[in-house]
Each structure stands twice: as structure tokens, then as C-alpha cells.
Chain A
Amino acid sequence: MHNNPYLPQKMRILDVYPQTDIDITYKVECDIKPENGQFVQVSLPRIGEVPISVSDFGDGYMEMTIRKVGKVTNEIYNLQKGDNLFLRGPYGKGFPIENYRGKHLIIAAGGTGLAPVKSVINYFYRNAHEVKNFDILAGFKTPQDILFKDEIDLWRSKFNVLLTVDNANEGWEGHLGLITKYVPEIEIRDLENVEVVIVGPPIMMKFTAQEFLKLGVPKHKIWVSFERNMSCAIGKCGHCKIDETYVCLEGPVFNYTKAEKLID
């Protein structure tokens, strides 16, 4: 068939970078040029297909960070360098990077929520002059769950990074507590020139957004990324629809003014 949108391409795994016991970053060889925050449909024949955010990309490669949670992701977990993944996409609308240029950018990410925004952070890491200030708030359940440790350390050299965990045993010397607790500590000088990106589990996004609103950040300066059950990623299967909005088409990234009206 001509232009079959469901037909994936075979892509070779160039490298794997274990992040935690259950999260692995896969670097695949590919020509796909995604926007920051878009996702792809990743599959293994006979096992199934799942939506996964692009966690980074560059010339001739793309990265995805995948958590082992079920049928398909368990099989992906066993793959090694040199094996193949099957990909179609990229899909959806990503983060509007152009809106963030010259602004005070704040990114608050919880857990795997760091994956879809990592390419945004790395973009500004490489082009640090394009943002005025940059605060990164990253929260994880425990120190063992921290993703992208090496990159977080790199980011610290240029930006204000606050890393926190919900719970930790003795020996953890970093911040403790939910992201929401640290939002009030961010100094926002100019509410008109701030942009806030919040990505994480639904509850985390809800309460973190409330904290920023309390600080006076206007709703239209807040951006979130949604996760929903998805099967087709092209507006046909209906699984991701909320009201008249298809998350796979108009999302997964939404401005808060839109997101707050999306009632499942």
C-alpha cells in the first residue's frame, strides 16, 4: 500500500544506557527529525506497539528512555546494542521552543516526565545564550529512581538545578520532599517573561501547576504534557480523545489554558 502510516521502520540500536533498574535509554540509528516533546510508536513484531517520548535526538540518531512496566516494554528491556526496534512517527505537537527564547524558563519534571523534556533542556544547554534564566526542578521517588544522573550534573554547570526525592535512606544528602515544596523557592522576577513547563504523573502536574499559579504565573505561561492510552497515534482509534481533543494530534503538549479544560 502506498504510504501506509501504520508501517514502522526497522531501526538499529546503536547503544543502550541503563538509567535505573527498570529504565533504559536506547539510542537508535535513524533519520527522523522530531520536535522536542513529540513521541513515536515503538514496536516489536508479535509483541506489540507502545507510545514512547523522544528523549533526545541529533544527527542520525534518536533516543528514547523506556521503563519496563508490562508486555511490550518487558521485551524491549531485553534488547541489546545491535538489535532492532521498529518505529513510526514522530507524532503530536511538541513544546513551542520559540516561545521560550529570551525568557526565564522553568522546567519541573517528575519521574519519567523528565524524558519528554530532556531534549528541551539539552537544546538550551547547547544554546544557553537563548534563555535569560533557567531553573530545573526534578523530582524522583527515591535516589535509585533518578534518571539521567550524568546529564543532570552537566546541567548544573550552566543552570540552577534542584534535584529532590520523595523518600531516601540515610546517606542521601540532597533535597527531600515533593517538587511542590520547592516551587515557592524559585525566584521569579518578571512574571510576564517567564515560561513554565511541567511534566509528570497527572497528580504531580495538577499540584505543581497550582503552586506556580499561587506565585502569580499566568496560566498561559504554563505548559504540560499528557499521557493517555493510545493505539494509533494518528487520530483514528479514539483511545486518547478527551472532549473534542485528540491527545495524539493536538497534544501531548498543551498550554495550561487548554489543559485545565480537558475533563476525561
Chain B
Amino acid sequence: MGYRLSNEKFNKLLDGLKGEYKIYAPIRFPKRGRFSDTDLIRYGEINKVEDVVWIEKSNYSPKEIVFPITQTLFYFTEDEFKESMVHNKKILIFLRPCDINGMRRLDTIFLNNGPIKDVYYERLREKVKFVMMECKDGFENCFCVSTNSNYTQDYSIAVRFTSNEVFCELKDESFQQFFSNLGTEMNFKPEYIEENSVKVQLPEVDKITTEFFNHDMWKEYSKRCIGCGRCNMACITCSCFTNSDIAYEENPNAGERRRVWAGCHIDKFTDMAGGHSFRQDYSSRMRFKTMHKIYDYKKRFGEHMCVGCGRCDDICPEYISFSNCINKVSKTLKEDESNAQ
């Protein structure tokens, strides 16, 4: 079923939803961007449709809603472990098809990797419903069509924003009550992007051997990458974290155990006591991340991890292009194969 709502009516809809839901969408933080005078676009709670930044790509993904940058696991008072609490509202997220597909990768790691579920992820994730923002044209650096993540049917509502009205497709009956009396019924189906200007050739998984890990093609990244980890932070599918404890300064007998985002490009990721460490060279970190996104995750779970959102390319201060890197992997493998023949 579809509806056509003026922005004003859509805001009434949001008002109605707010009682039950925390509503998240990409929003603008003026002058907080990568370069002076640019804005930062990241996820936050919205009040009205005008808050939603839908004509640009967000710099950061919606993962922080279900996997917060910093999350308290336990509070300590002396020897007691008290679990942190979570708000009691449901969650509605406005996001594009690539990110919905990316969310499934996060689900795979947090809920299905190994026999034990991550309950801190699950307790937020099970509250979530998706509002898919139609994405017909994509943006700079996107390559979702190549990674097969331009399309999804996993949403409750799909929306097309225009300057003054919103077209909605309603799939989830439970939202019907919020729409009644608001807009005019119509037939609306979202459209999907069919071609990006950036295309990647994903390597065939069985063509990659561990010898390839030491291939010369990685060398250029040892100088170019500075190990800042911005690509990890922006990525919808990067899911690593580190647990650590803190004692409160004002009361050292109390404190908390928390987890914080971690990234495989950043120093200390593999450090062990006694000075042991792996992947000290930045090129091996680039190789490690790349292989995870387009090789080993697929070996383990049957689909590629990368969903082609291109945020890693957008954010890299050294202008390292991940799509170029993927294409280089495929090209190098082909060349090596034909040389061997």
C-alpha cells in the first residue's frame, strides 16, 4: 500500500511515531566536516522531515545506533557487576539499501558468528525497523551495484523524498494506524539504482591463496596509508571493538567496563603483552581489511562483506580508493594467472 504525504503531514506522522519510536536519520552538523567549511552528516534523532539529509550521502553509517561508538557493558561498585540498561522505546531508522544490506553483515557477526549471541547488540537490534530511503542515482564513490547491495526488500516503509512531499510504501501493517487520515492513498514502489559510475570487479574467492597476501601489489599502501582508521569508523560493516575498564576519577571504587569501536588499520589492534604484534606495516593492514571485505568473510559466510557504500573512499585523508584496490586485486590475480600459463 502507498501514501502520498505533504511534508507537513509527514511531520504529523513523525509526531505520532515519536511516542513509541526513537527515530534516526542522517542529519547535518554544520561546519564539522572533513574540510573547513564543510558539514558533517551522520545519524542522529530527528524531529521533522526537514532534519533528514536525503540529498547527500552521510559520512558515517547508521551502525552506531545498534553498535554505539562507546557502550557501557557493566557498572561496578566495589565487587558488583551491574548490567547497563537500555531505553524502552522502539527504533526506526531511515537508511538506504546498501546500509540495510550492511546491517545484515553486522547481524551475522554479532548474532551468528560462533555459538554465542552478543546480547548488547541484540537488545538494540531487535527494536529496529527500517524505513528505506529510495536511492535511484547513488553518489560519488558508490559501487553498490557491483556488490549486489543496491536492492533489498527488508524494510517496513520505503520513502521517496521530494522538496515538499514524501511518497511512502507501507509494507509493515503495524504502521497502518499512524498513516490513517494523513495522506492520500496511491500506488508507490521505490526504484533502485541500476548502474553506478564506479564499478568493481570482485575477485573469485577460490582464486585467492595465502601467497597472494604477500604480493607486491600491497606495497604501495605501506607509505600511502597512515593507519588513521577513518575507513573502519565510517564503514557500515566494520564491527570490531575493544573492551576495557575504567575507574571513575571522583570515586575510584566505582567504574565501568565498556566497549569502544576498534579498527584493524589502527595501531595496537593486534598488540599482545611482551611486545608481540602483527601487521606492523600499514600495507599489511590494508591487505587484511581488503581480504576481510572481499574474501575471507565470503569464505566463512557465503556473501561478500563490503556493500559498496563508498564511505571509506569518501573519508580517506590520503585519497586511497577502496574500489581501485578491489579492482587491482582482481586485475593482479588475472595477470598472475595468465603469466602462470
The interface of chain A, by Cβ under 8 A from chain B, is 1-8, 10, 43-49, 67, 69-70, 73, 84, 86, 201-202, 227-229, 231-232, 234-239, 241, 243-244, 246, 248-249, 261, 263-264
Contacts and interface: CB of A to CB of B under 8 A. Distances in A.
Contacts of A67: 273
Given A45-B255, A263-B210, A234 B271 contact: no
Contacts of A48: 243-245
Contacts of A201: 276
B210 A261 contact: yes
Interface string B288-312: 1001100011011000000000000
Nearest to B270: A229
Contacts of A3: 119
Interface string B232-275: 00000001111111110000111101010010100001111110
A70 B292 CA distance: 31
Contacts of B284: 264
Contacts of B264: 238
A49 B119 contact: no
Nearest to B86: A1
A46 B245 contact: yes
A38 to B, nearest CB: 14
Given A6-B73, A7-B81, A244-B297, A237 B274 contact: no
Given A45-B257, A236-B239, A264-B279, A244 B296 contact: yes
Given A49-B257, A227-B272, A263 B213 contact: yes
10 contacts: A1-B83, A2-B119, A48-B243, A231-B242, A235-B114, A236-B109, A243-B210, A244-B297, A261-B210, A263-B213
For chain B, the bracket of interface size reads 35 or more
Given A227-B272, A229-B270, A236-B114, 5 more contacts: A229-B269, A239-B269, A244-B296, A244-B299, A249-B113
Contacts of B247: 46-47
B120 interface: yes
B34 interface: no
Nearest to A227: B272
A241 B241 CA distance: 13
Nearest to B291: A243
B74 interface: yes
B188 interface: no
B37 to A, nearest CB: 36
A237 B269 CA distance: 11
A227 B277 CA distance: 11
A-B pairs, top 5 by smallest CB distance, nearest first, are A235-B114, A238-B240, A244-B296, A46-B255, A264-B278
Contact of A45 (B76, B116, B300): B76
Contacts of B246: 46
Contact of A1 (B76, B119, B279): B119
Given A229-B270, A249-B113, A49 B243 contact: yes
Q: Which of A5, A228, A244 has the most CB of B within 10 A?
A: A244
A236 B278 contact: no
Given A1-B83, A228-B272, A46 B252 contact: yes
B243 A237 contact: yes
A226 to B, nearest CB: 11
B255 A235 contact: no
Nearest to B211: A263
Given A243-B291, A243-B296, A237 B241 contact: yes
B278 to A, nearest CB: 4
A212 to B, nearest CB: 22
A10 B80 CA distance: 9
B79 interface: yes
Contacts of A43: 245, 257
Q: Which of B83, B119, B279 has the most CB of A within 10 A?
A: B119
Given A6-B74, A49-B257, A202 B79 contact: no
B245 A45 contact: yes
A249 B118 CA distance: 14
B273 A232 contact: no
Interface string B196-232: 0000000000000010011000000000000000000
B31 interface: no
Nearest to B273: A69
Contacts of A227: 272, 276
B110 interface: yes
A44 to B, nearest CB: 8
B242 A239 contact: yes
A244 B300 contact: yes
A232 B273 CA distance: 17
Contact of B240 (A6, A8, A237, A264): A237
B32 interface: no
